[in-house]
Structure 1
Amino acid sequence: MGTVIFWIIFWIVIAVLAFCPLYFIFLFIVGLFVDMNKEYEHDSKFFRFLLTNSTAVAAKLIRIRVKVTGRELLPKDTRYLLVCNHRSKFDPILTWYAFGKEQLSFISKPENFKVPVYGRIIHRCLFMAIDRENPRNAMKTVNRAADLLKRGEVNVAVYPEGRRNYDEGLLPFHGAMFKIAQKANVPIVVMTAKGTYEIQKNFPLHRSHVELDVLGVLSAEEIKGMKTTAIGERVAGIMNKNL
């Protein structure tokens, strides 16, 4: 019996090792059909499936367990802006994996769109690059995100800190990110991510446990007349109670 189990496990490992390179080659080939110079107007169900599915495979291989709380708070009848603290490069990856059905499109730094294979896939899923050095170009991204929300194409996710925070607490927020919700007249969903910073330290010897907690929703009416600094204070207050 022990010998049988050994050979079953052996062939499963061989199958996984053979499957992963083939899957990556497949992703590379289909990614070639994405025009990086084109600004797509509609989300792709096909590329969205590839993004979520391939991330799920990677999460299992790296042994990442994601726990989501507060999912029931997500608006059901309207698009929304998701805001979260930013501790690790794994934050968006595990968020689009855990919330695969939510059609989240992230605002991200331009370098991420140069990542082999996945840069093309996220571009086709309406992820948006933001030029943090040029306010005028950055506002174009804000307006595009608001337009996608207005048209109901996707939900938009942002990290108002603007960059990864390697320390405890929160970095100052960039108020322009909250303008997206105001321009689109949609609610803001507040979430925190915990445990992502430790993934690199845990791999490959230890399993990683990540918590994504949806904490609350600021309605479109509530934020309509607020200054972005005031919105930031409200969001930071909600996040800090959970961090």
Structure 2
Amino acid sequence: MFAILLLVINITVSILGVYLFDYQVDGVINNPIMIILSILAGTVVMLAVFFLYIDVFYFLVAKRRPQNSKFKHFLAKQIMTVPLVFTNTRIKVKGKENLPENPGFSIYVNHTSMMDIPVLMYKLNKHPIAFLQKQEVLDLFAVGKWTPKLGCVMIDRSNPRKGAEAIVNVIKNVKNGLTMVVFPEGTRTNKIGELIEFKPGSFKVALKSKAPLVPITIVKPNNFKKVKWPLPKKITVVIHKPIPFNDLRGMTSLDLSNKVKKIIETPLKISD
């Protein structure tokens, strides 16, 4: 795992620095300045390797392989595991058997934090997945340029016309066999265990792609925000049974929005 490799690099460089510039001087580890500088050096080297990985594989793989390339998505998954490992996030998955055997379906999931995407990319590894994301993600240093290459679709929430175009592009991706993740709330929820109103327009993806819809619930314990590093933060991902397209026929976007919201909401009520 790439994140573990980064940790090993950090620790190795830090220990080597202490050994060479403190212990080797007088046979004792007693120089706090050298210890701090060694730890900083380990961190700098680790970050350099991390960003080198992102850039090298972007030019060698991300720009050249198709959006649904399993190898490309595997590399992206390695990047996404880094924040999970360094924040000591523990993820439990329920219902993984509910994911369809074939790719090319839509996933609707509640949006709890910016960590949702790493969580889903790490655990939903049966098929390559991409996301309907806000346009600002493109501005993220180093990582932003990867997102369109993975099949992610950017949405400009301030422009209704471009928003509609984004939905059309998501539908095309699903029809072309890419599994797309949609956050129907449209933004992150600040309160744990609560949903905000779903945007019915987002369900046009499920209705027009003519593919199964898989609801997913991200569940966090009530004390999630109070748990501080290095204590583990626990998250449960509940994968519900897929809704076949035949069951969606005749439904409006609003009808489907209400139906999926009830499904996603159920584990949140149980966890209260």
Alignment match, 2:11? 13
- Tell me how far apart the structure 1 counterparts of residues 53 and 102 of structure 2 sit (CA, whole Å): 36
1:104 matched to which residue of 2?
Answer: 129
Select the structure with the greater relative contact order (CA < 8 A; seq sep ≥ 6).
1
Unmatched segments (≥5 aa) in structure 1: 1-8
Write the distance in 2 (CA, Å) between the matches of 1:242 and 1:51: 29
Higher mean C-alpha displacement, 66-75 vs 203-212? 203-212
The aligned amino acid for 1:133 is: S
Q: Could you tell me which amino acid in structure 1 is paired with residue 188 of structure 2?
A: R
TM-score (norm. length: structure 2): 0.76
CA distance in 2, matches of 1:149, 1:80: 6
In structure 2, the residue matched to 1:4 is none
1:171-192 CA distance string (max 9 Å, x none): 1111121111111101110111
Residues 30-84 of structure 1 show CA distances to partners (whole Å, capped at 9, x for unaligned) of 4367999xxx973344432221012224322221111111110111135211001
Count of residue pairs the alignment pairs up: 232
Residue aligning to 1:157: 181
For residue 202 of structure 2, what is the aligned residue in structure 1?
177
Whether contact under 8 Å (1:90, 1:196) holds in the other structure is no
CA distance in 1, matches of 2:265, 2:226: 24
Structure 1 residue 134, shift from structure 2 partner: 1.9
Structure-2 change in CA distance of 1:34 and 1:46 (3 Å):
closer
Structure 2: 5+ residue stretches without partners? 1-6, 15-41
> 1:108 touches 1:127 (CA, 8 Å); kept in 2?
yes
Determine if contact 1:74/1:189 at 8 Å carries over to the other structure. Answer: yes
Seen in structure 2, the aligned counterparts of structure 1 residues 198 and 129 have a Cα distance that, compared at 3 Å, is farther
Matched, 1:23 2:47: no
Distance change (3 Å), C-alpha of 1:24 and 1:12: closer
Read off the aligned partner of 1:42 and give its amino acid letter: Q
Return the index of the structure with the highest Cα Rg. Answer: 2
On the 8 A contact 1:142/1:180 being kept in 2, the answer is: yes
Change (3 A) 1:179 1:35: same
Structure 1 residues 42 and 91: alpha-carbon distance in aligned structure 2, compared to 1, 3 A threshold: closer
Alignment RMSD: 2.9
Distance apart, 1:197 and its partner CA: 9.2
